[in-house]
Amino acid sequence: MASLSLPTPAEARSDRTAPTGAAGVILHLKPRPADRDRRALDERIARARGAAFVGVVSTYRTHLGDPAAAAAESAVLDRLKGSASRVVVFRPGVVLGPTSPASAALRRFGACYPLVPRRLRSGFVTEDELSAAIEQERTAGPRGRRRAVTVLGPNRAWREVLAEHASRGAVSACITAICWLLSWLLLGELVALALRRHSFHTLRPRSLHELRALCHPANARYVKVVGYNHGVNHFGHHYPGRTVVSTVLLNRVRKAGPDRIRADAGTTVRKALDLLAATDQTLYVVPNFSYVCLGTAYFVPIHGSAADYSCLAETITKVLLYDPAEDRLVAAASDEPAFREHVYNLRSRAVLLRLEVRVKPRSRYFMNREELTNPDAATILAALRDPRPTNVEVRKPNAAGDTATVARFYSDAGGAQAPVLELPRDALGRLWDRLEENPVTAFLMHTLTRRLAWHVELFFTAEEFAQFWADHRTLPLKKIQLRFIRRDGLPHSPFRDHDCISSDMFMLRRSRGAFEEYLARTFAVVRSNPGKHSR
């Protein structure tokens, strides 16, 4: 099993299914071709120069940074320069089907599936799906003379796919039993070495063109686009059957005017703040932690109790979206219908590529801390609505306790009793950033939180908050953090019609059931932040 050499997707599909002739030519690439393969490819490239459409079937390994796969693509595209053909590069996952060499290899080694570690995954696409994607592009009409299309198929465990291809019979059963015994000796790690180039659960595109290729209509249902991805790492979100596409490498940011920055969707708040520091500017809304992507703020509320704007999305002035449903780019300003259609819309299939954000001159902050003993809901609401500070938040370290702390941040020293702060956030936010900067402490923090804790942020109206606050001391909450968020009128916003109080809550995972039962019993509607919700 350790000697298993899987065919490339280019090898995993026969030419019998490829549209050829004057209307279209299909070129199959091998990252490491033999002389015979080069001669056959040369002949087909010569034919391709007279075709209206040229499909170049490459491999998903281009997305994994395989230099041979990337070089093979570049070499063919260079040779097609100057031709009138429309050229589309297809990057399929592992191709399965009756004529697929990959399926033949899986059947041959299927009985050995116990040796394959469960963590090894890949995208598996059928020959029919790949053929349909090629035909869709061939008949789509002019959509640019050069583009890339990824067709991964569902993301599945190699172990599961091998088991499905295992033959039935006594010999196969004996091999499987032996492999189970060998797996206890950790020999499966040798198999992991053989399959490592074919395994992925998360892809990190390095350009907006690559991101668009991964979100093509033929592949959109098989991927989940995320930013810095606290959802999976910290909150335990799962996306069965889908490959996670993280935008963290799409992080270019630059000034777009005296009071604007233009950023790729994967730019973190931390990187934006570092850029703005050079011009003595900052963001209007600074969340309590910096390692979150600006693009995330377009789809889920990211706030920081700011007085000028409640959430980062309110400071976005323009967006560039890719709509897989229509296979087109959409540029929209914040006052246009297309912007409002997708902002905070969890059902939207649109992928954010780039955005512009309003910025302001940097301020110094002075924090005033006040301890309240057994405050009622009216007292808490009055503190959160105080118009004098730039930021206000209320914390209670334990729901059963008597004391709540009100932190008020001022931009001048008049109302403060504390030293100067660069950002309006507390010690917990600064600690989070320090932990995130180190890969080891970040891993430990996310793993422990994901396994032991349950986190939720709810948005209450004033009436709902009064009920919650009357009951909160009986609930199994270890931390409550409260902020005020103004009504924004956006059609998909949880604050569309009402001012809200954000209640950010932390508890032990074993307490989740009792808390959810309380919510179901007490409130007809529960509005939550999907970006800060444990699974």
**Does 365-532 match 15-200 at the fold level?**
no
Residue 293 amino acid letter = C
% of the chain with per-residue pLDDT over 70? 92
Q: What are the tens digits of pLDDT across the range 68-114? A: 889 888 988 888 887 778 889 999 999 999 988 899 999 999 999 89
Question: pTM for this structure?
Answer: 0.87
Q: What are the tens digits of pLDDT across the range 440-452? A: 888 888 888 888 8
Res 417: pLDDT? 55
What's the pLDDT band for 309 if we cut at 50, 70, 90?
confident
* Tokens read off for 33: 């071709």
328-333 and 253-257 beta bridge pairing: unpaired
Q: State in Å, rounded, how far the first CA of the chain is from the last one.
A: 37
Give the residue-averaged pLDDT of 252-263: 95
Q: What are the tens digits of pLDDT across the range 402-421? A: 999 998 888 766 544 556 77
* Tokens read off for 467: 């009920």
Q: What are the tens digits of pLDDT across the range 288-297? A: 888 899 999 9
* 425 pLDDT higher than 80: no
* 192 pLDDT higher than 80: yes
| CA pair distance 376, 289, nearest whole angstrom | 29
Res 39: pLDDT? 78
What's the pLDDT band for 275 if we cut at 50, 70, 90?
very high
Q: Is 397 helix (H, G, I), strand (E, B) or coil?
A: coil
Q: What is the architecture, at CATH level 2, of domain 365-532?
A: 3-Layer(aba) Sandwich (3.40)
* 316 pLDDT higher than 60: yes
| CA pair distance 267, 255, nearest whole angstrom | 13
What's the pLDDT band for 249 if we cut at 50, 70, 90?
very high
Burial of 71 (0-12, 13-18, 19+ CB in 10 A): middle
Q: Is 32 helix (H, G, I), strand (E, B) or coil?
A: coil
Give the residue-averaged pLDDT of 228-254: 89
Residue 127 amino acid letter = E
CA 200 to chain centre: 15
Q: Rounded mean pLDDT of the chain?
A: 86
Res 317: pLDDT? 96
> Which CATH number, 1.10.10, 3.40.50, 2.40.40, 3.30.2000, labels domain 15-200?
3.40.50
What's the pLDDT band for 16 if we cut at 50, 70, 90?
very low
Q: Which helix (H) or strand (E) holds 234?
A: none
Highest mean pLDDT among 140-149, 210-219, 523-532: 210-219
| CA pair distance 350, 322, nearest whole angstrom | 6
> How would you list the strands of the sheet with 420-421, edge to edge?
420-421, 365-373, 403-410, 391-396, 479-485, 500-508, 453-460, 527-528
* 9 pLDDT higher than 60: no
| CA pair distance 498, 486, nearest whole angstrom | 7
Give the residue-averaged pLDDT of 300-318: 85
Give the residue-averaged pLDDT of 299-310: 80
Domain chopping of the chain, boundaries: 15-200, 365-532
| CA pair distance 241, 235, nearest whole angstrom | 19
Res 526: pLDDT? 87
